[in-house]
Amino acid sequence: MPDHIVPLERFHDARRVLDGRIDRTPILSSSTAARVLAARGIRVADGTVYAKAENLQKTGAFKIRGALNKMSSLNAAERAGGVITLSAGNHAQGVALAAHEARVHAVVLMPAGAVQSKVEACRGYGAEVIQFGRDLGEMWGRMEEIQAERGLTFVPPFDDEWIVAGQGTVGLEILDDLPDVDVVVTGIGGGALCSGSAAAIKETRPGVRVYGVEPVTSNSMSLAVEQGKPVPITPVSLADGLNSPFAGEWTLAMTQRYVDGIVLLDDATILAGVRFALERMKQLVEPAGAAALAAVLFGRVPIRDGERVCVVFSGGNVDPARLGELLAAAAQLEIPAAAE
C-alpha cells in the first residue's frame, strides 16, 4: 500500500468485521465541561462537550477493535501456529479476547509492573502471559526471541494497517452519532486510534479537525512528526497506555496526513481529566483515556465559538489500588458554578 496510508474502504471493511462482535459505545455529554470552556471564553455547540465512551467497550478499551480486525486477516497456518504481542495492558487484553474467540493460542508480553487487573484479565481470556522489562522498548527484543523460537505471528500494538483500520472505526461511529461534529480529540500512544480515526473522519468529512494528545514525557509521535521519522524514547508517563517508545511507520504517515495538531500535557493535567470524568461525568476513565478531555478542559485544543466538540474516552482500566493516589496527584481545575 503506497505511503503507508490506509484508504477509507479499509475502515468500512473493518466495521463489517466488527459488526455484532463489539459493543456500540455511547456518546456521553457534559454541560459542566462546557461551562469550564465558557469560563475560558469559548461557547461550544449545544452547551455540552461530548465523549465517545470506549471505556465501556469490551475489555474496557478500544483496542479490541484492532485486535479482532487483525485476527480476521490470519490464514489457517498462522491461526494454527498462534500469535504473540506485547502491551502495557489494553492491547494485550484485546488480543487475548480476540484470540480466544478465534480459538488461537496467544502469548502476551507485559511489563513487570503492569496493572495486575490487566494481567489477570488476559489470563482470564486464556492467554499465556509473560511479564518482562519496564516498557515496550525493553520487551521488544524478548518478544522477537519468543516469536522466532515458537513460530508465532506478531500482532502489533499499533503499527499495522489492520490495527489502524480497526481502531479507526471509532471515528466512523462518531460521525454516525454526531454528524455535525467539528473537533475530535483523542490520546496518542502508538497512534493507531488517533490517526485511524482522523483518516476515517476526514476522508468522509474533510472539514472536521482532529487533534491528538501526548504526555510531555512520552512524546514519541511529536518527535517523529518534527523529525520526519520514528524517534526512540524512554516513556515514563503515569498514562501507561500512552507510553509508546516510538511511532510506527504507518501511524506516523497517517498522523502527518490527517491529524491537525498534537497537544502535550504533563501528568498532573492528564490526571485532572481522570478526576473530572469520575466526579462530574460518573465515568471511570484511565489516564490515557482521559488525556483528550483534560486537553479540552485546560484550553489546550483550538476550539472556536459554536463548534461541536467530541473527545474519546479510550479506556477505563484503572488499577483500583492506585485510584486514590492518581486522583490526589491531579492538577486543580476551576469549575464554574451552574447559572441560576
Nearest in space to 204 (alpha carbons), one of 177, 178, 171: 171
Exposed, middle or buried, 75 (CB in 10 Å: 0-12/13-18/19+)? exposed
Within the chain, residue ranges assigned H as helices are 8-18, 31-39, 63-71, 76-81, 90-102, 116-124, 136-150, 161-167, 169-177, 192-202, 220-227, 249-258, 267-281, 287-297, 323-328
Cell numbers placing 187: 490520546
What are residue 108's DSSP bridge partners?
Answer: 85, 129
Helix and strand element counts for the chain (H, E)? 15, 10
Nearest in space to 30 (alpha carbons), one of 219, 307, 281, 231: 281
Exposed, middle or buried, 192 (CB in 10 Å: 0-12/13-18/19+)? buried
By DSSP bridging, strand 27-30 and strand 49-53 are antiparallel
Query: HSE-up of 249 (CA within 13 Å, CB side)?
Result: 6
The answer to whether residues 193 and 96 touch, using CB atoms and an 8 Å cutoff, is no
Rounding to the nearest 10 degrees, give the CA dihedral for residues 91, 97, 101, 107.
70
* DSSP character at residue 235: -
Question: Which active-site residues does the annotation give?
Answer: 63, 314
Scan for cell 466538540, then name that residue.
309
